[in-house]
Amino acid sequence: MEKIEGIETRNYNSYEEYIEHQKSKANHGTPLREKLLGEFWESNCEGFRLNFKPYKEILSTCKNALCIGARVGEEVSVLKELGIDAIGIDLVDNPPLVIKGDCHNLAFEDKSYDFIFSNIFDHVLYPEKFISEIERVIKPGGHCLLHLSVQVRDDVHAANVLLGSNYVVSLFKKDITILEDQKLNQPEWPEYWTLMIKFN
């Protein structure tokens, strides 16, 4: 991995190699995908219900939401339970909750979403592009919740190792307010850091 301030990035020979590496973790027919759609589904949904509960007031004002890197779509399903028109994107689709898409090049119009959620920062090859795409499609006054995997080195599919949240915050160019920047403190995802941002 190549180390720059705040992050270490994996070296790929090409973007195509990166895409294939990321898809291989939970592609159609892989054991992980079958578990996500089966035995892990309800427990993961319950985890996302717990994740989103502190933001009930914010979410009650949201008409639509985008989940980036949503795999099979547990978080999308939970946001739909809250009455939000939610959709997920991932390199591997899972209709109707998750459509095929690239986190570095979102196929959505500018200022289209009230709320964006993602927990895949450690799988992003170009962090600056990822954040700029979030800034492009979020509505003024919208919110973005990022769950960051910090200092985790045992995921062979990770495209980077994030050393702290400060690096992520530094990538935002728009006027933002940091509402939360702390450890998630949930047993299901003990390594995650939570970063909640409002776009002013």
Q: What is the pTM of this model?
A: 0.95
Q: What is the pLDDT of residue 191?
A: 72
> What is the amino acid identity at position 118?
S
Q: What is the pLDDT of residue 34?
A: 92
CATH number of 2-199: 3.40.50.150
Phi/psi class of residue 57: alpha, beta or left (left: φ > 0; alpha: ψ in -120 to 50)? alpha
Q: What is the pLDDT of residue 53?
A: 95
Sequence-separated (6 or more) residues with CB below 8 Å from residue 148: 119, 121, 122, 162, 165, 168, 192, 193, 194, 195
For residue range 136-151, what is the model confidence (pLDDT) as tens digits? Answer: 999 999 999 999 999 8
- What six digits make up the tokens of 132? 């700029």
Q: What is the pLDDT of residue 105?
A: 98
- Mean pLDDT in runs of 10 for the chain (200 residues)? 79 96 93 91 94 96 98 97 98 97 98 98 96 98 96 90 94 97 79 93
Q: Are 148 and 160 in contact (CB under 8 A)?
A: no
The neighbour count for residue 47, using CB atoms within 10 Å, is: 18
Q: What is the pLDDT of residue 188?
A: 67
Q: What is the pLDDT of residue 4?
A: 67
160: helix, coil or strand?
strand
Q: Residue 24 and residue 91: Cα distance in Å, rounded?
A: 10
Q: Exposed e or buried b for every residue in 13-40, given b needs 16+ CB within 10 A?
A: eeeeebeebbeebbeeeeeebeebeeee
Q: What is the pLDDT of residue 2?
A: 63
